[in-house]
């Protein structure tokens, strides 16, 4: 099996920010506003004349990504409505330089990423509701698509990858994938190529040039690479609410604990977690999104030693099935879920009737210590190791701390 270095490097990023931003952000009705008939197509297509993000939108976005612990950002350079945030260099007038903004927003994004050591990735739609040839002359449309992608590969320096979406809209068409991926390999040989398989085919393998499978709003599972000629990564994309693009009346938000658990579920199988935001018309994030990301970043900063480089260990453990172990260079990291909280019965809510703090597993190496990452203290009440059989009792979290997932470092 061929193992490519850039795919292995991608897996070490751990957390990425997904950004759905475009003309639809003006309406605040989600990224499918054109398709859903919020306005007539003519009215919607004229919105770009008012689209003018603030000058510092990209810097503020990258600031938040950095605070959250993201190593890369995937930006919607063109979504299904056909509007491009980049200069299409004459391919279309439906782009940011022809909008009220009058400038290349992808250039601003890339420059902001480079200034803060964040890796820029480009999302690009495959389906297109704006260009007539998509429905009237598909081969002509594919030429337009490839010319568009070539601009992204040539005009912005080295990028981390290109993330496609929409092939599911015409599953029986010949998308001429060989030609599309070949031009990316020519201009960006170390870029990840990802093609979202959608809600109905999470984790599905595809064209040989694809470098990662996708899990849209579903936690990853192990992928079977026995018949694959090359190593392939995996990535879960998730949203805070119910929309990818900004929806001003979306209040159905996931909790921070839900997001932390999703992230840990990704790392359990070595998958990256691509967490989405939908900036408002200004390019600024909704305050709730910003706060959630920055608070997630606090949890990640505490546990970062276990979240980026360690890989799945293959160690099977007895106890809560949510718990798992990752392997680092000279240590293992044990992820505990659903730990009970200690404290007075007058303040602590009812506790589970089962013990989530006890785990058992086999380990041939001799353990030197087991410490919590959040406090750098020895795990209590104890751990035991007899020959290669290990038993650890995590005990309760002290009142004043509630980590959602608490990580113990096992030094060997």
* CATH among 2.60.40, 3.30.70, 1.10.357, 3.40.50 for 311-411: 2.60.40
Q: Provide mean pLDDT across the span 226-254.
A: 96
Q: Determine the pLDDT at residue 350.
A: 67
Reply yes or no on whether the pLDDT at 195 is more than 70: yes
Q: Is the pLDDT of residue 352 over 70?
A: no
**Per-residue pLDDT for 134 more than 60?**
yes
Name the more confident of 166 and 381: 166
Least confident of 86-90, 177-181, 201-205, 342-346: 342-346
Confidence check: pLDDT of 351 > 70 = no
The confidence score (pLDDT) of residue 226 equals 87
How many angstroms separate the CA atoms of 149 and 152, rounded?
5
111-115, 286-290, 307-311, 345-349: the lowest-pLDDT one: 345-349
**Interstrand relation of 369-372 and 405-411 (parallel, antiparallel or unpaired):** antiparallel
pLDDT class for 3, splitting at 50, 70, 90? confident
Place of tokens 């056909």: 82
Report the pLDDT averaged over residues 384-409.
93
d(C-alpha 149, C-alpha 162), whole Å: 9
What pLDDT score was predicted for residue 381?
66
Q: What is the pLDDT of residues 244-276, one digit of tens each?
A: 999 999 999 999 999 999 999 999 999 999 999
Domain range summary for the chain, segments of one domain joined by +: 5-307, 311-411
Contacts of 134 (CB under 8 A, 6+ apart): 127, 128, 141
Maximum pairwise Cα distance, the chain: 73
Average pLDDT on 293-305 reads 98
C-alpha to C-alpha distance for 70 and 288, rounded to whole angstroms: 17
Residue of 379 and 333 predicted with greater confidence: 333
For 69-106, write each residue's pLDDT tens digit: 999 999 999 999 999 999 999 999 999 999 999 999 99
Q: What is the DSSP string of 47-109?
A: GGGG----TTHHHHHHHHHHHHT-SEEEEEEE-TT--BSS--TTS-S-BGGGSTT-S-HHHHH
Mean per-residue pLDDT over the chain, rounded: 95
Q: Does position 353 have pLDDT exceeding 60, yes or no?
A: no
The string over 133-151, giving b where at least 16 C-beta atoms fall within 10 Å of a residue's C-beta and e elsewhere, is ebeeeeeebbebbbebbbb
CATH number of 5-307: 3.20.20.80
pLDDT for res 341: 87
pLDDT digits (tens, 9 = 90+) for 21-60: 999 999 999 999 999 999 999 999 999 999 999 999 999 9
Question: DSSP secondary structure string, 311-342?
Answer: EE----EES-TT-EEEE-SSEEEEEEESPPBP
Mean pLDDT over residues 265-288, rounded? 98
């Amino acid at each position: 099996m061929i193992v490519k270095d850039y795919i292995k490097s991608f897996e070490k990023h751990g957390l990425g920010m997904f950004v759905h931003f475009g003309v639809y952000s003006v309406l605040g009705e989600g990224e499918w506003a054109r398709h859903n008939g919020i306005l007539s197509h003519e009215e919607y297509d004229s919105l770009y004349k008012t689209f003018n993000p603030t000058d510092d939108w990209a810097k503020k976005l990258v600031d938040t990504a950095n605070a959250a612990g993201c190593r890369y950002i995937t930006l919607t350079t063109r979504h299904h409505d056909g509007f491009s945030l980049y200069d299409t260099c004459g391919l279309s007038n439906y782009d940011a330089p022809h909008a009220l903004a009058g400038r290349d927003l992808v250039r601003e994004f890339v420059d902001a990423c480079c200034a803060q050591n964040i890796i820029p990735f480009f999302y690009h739609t495959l389906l297109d509701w704006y260009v007539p040839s998509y429905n009237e002359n598909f081969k002509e449309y594919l030429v337009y698509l490839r010319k568009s992608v070539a601009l992204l590969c040539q005009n912005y320096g080295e990028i981390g990858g290109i993330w496609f979406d929409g092939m599911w809209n015409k599953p029986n068409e010949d998308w001429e994938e060989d030609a599309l991926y070949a031009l990316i390999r020519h201009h960006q040989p170390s870029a990840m190529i990802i093609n979202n398989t959608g809600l109905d085919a999470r984790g599905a393998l595809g064209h040989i040039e694809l470098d990662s499978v996708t899990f849209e709003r579903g936690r990853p599972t192990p992928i079977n690479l026995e018949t694959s000629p090359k190593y392939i990564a995996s990535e879960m994309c998730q949203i805070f609410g119910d929309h990818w693009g900004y929806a001003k009346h979306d209040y159905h938000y996931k909790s921070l604990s839900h997001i932390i658990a999703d992230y840990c579920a990704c790392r359990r199988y070595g998958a990256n977690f691509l967490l989405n935001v939908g900036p408002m018309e200004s390019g600024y994030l909704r305050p709730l999104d910003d706060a959630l990301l920055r608070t997630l970043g606090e949890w990640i900063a505490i546990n970062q030693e276990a979240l980026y480089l360690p890989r799945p260990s293959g160690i099977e453990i007895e106890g809560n099935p949510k718990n798992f172990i990752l392997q680092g260079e000279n240590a293992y990291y044990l992820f505990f879920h659903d730990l009970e909280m200690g404290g007075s019965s007058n303040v602590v809510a009812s506790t589970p009737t089962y013990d989530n703090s006890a785990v058992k597993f086999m380990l041939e190496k001799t353990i030197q210590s087991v410490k919590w990452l959040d406090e750098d203290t020895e795990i209590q009440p104890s751990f035991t190791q007899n020959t290669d059989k290990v038993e650890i009792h995590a005990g309760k979290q002290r009142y004043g701390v509630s980590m959602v997932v608490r990580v113990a470092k096992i030094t060997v």
